[in-house]
Amino acid sequence: MKTIYFIRHAKSSWKDMSLKDFDRPLNKRGLRDAPFMANLMKEKGIQPDAIVSSPANRAYTTATYFAKALNIDLDNIIKEEAIYEAYYSTIISIVQKQSDQIDTLLVFGHNPGFTDVANFFTRNYTDNIPTCGIIEISADIKKWSDLDDETGKVVNFFYPKKYI
């Protein structure tokens, strides 16, 4: 059994319009929600074997809050450029290439790709994964390469406004 948590970055700032989209930081709400959701994950006893993140500032910063809460060295966060602006198929392909030694994986990225990933693994359509929203996918597989819409399914969906 393998488990993937797809985590959309926390709320980002549009304050400095001179910044490229890639470089936008978290805003005040994002700086509140990222540590809150990271601690919620810790309270639920979730301990990942690996973290993969888009290198975009807002996604990577969100990933660092989770790594700190879960006692994972920040140097162990794998930056995967292909997650930024990726279609769902690219995101799933990235997961399929992970080491089979990993059983629990956190993946940090962006919409619309993450909403499309959630819809790939469920029949219950969702129109939006909110910022810092977490989709838990359980997959009855031994090898990541076997992950598809038949082997994986959404088993949990939680987000900050559900708690704050």
At 101, which CATH number? 3.40.50.1240
Mean pLDDT of 110-139: 96
Instruction: Show the domain range for 133.
Output: 2-12+23-162
Residue 156 lies in a domain: yes
C-alpha to C-alpha distance for 86 and 163, rounded to whole angstroms: 29
Q: How confident is the model at residue 143 (pLDDT cuts 50, 70, 90)?
A: very high
Structure tokens at 77: 């966060």
- CA distances to 17, 90, 129, 158 from 138, rounded to whole Å, are 39, 19, 18, 15
Is a pLDDT exceeding 90 seen at residue 164?
no
Residue-level pLDDT at 4: 98
One-letter amino acid at 84 equals: Y
CA-wise closest residue to 19 among 64, 67, 58: 58
Residue 121 or 164, more confident: 121
For all residues of the chain together, what is the average pLDDT?
97
The answer to whether 159 and 129 have CB atoms below 8 angstroms apart is yes
Residue 124 lies in a domain: yes
Mind listing the pLDDT tens digit for each residue in 70-112?
999 999 999 999 999 999 999 999 999 999 999 999 999 999 9
Mean pLDDT of 35-53: 98
Q: How confident is the model at residue 158 (pLDDT cuts 50, 70, 90)?
A: very high
Residue 118 lies in a domain: yes
Mean pLDDT of 122-141: 96
Q: Is this model's pTM higher than 0.85 or not?
A: yes
Residue 123 lies in a domain: yes
Residue-level pLDDT at 99: 98
Q: What total of structural domains would you count in the chain?
A: 1
Residue 74 lies in a domain: yes
Residue 98 lies in a domain: yes
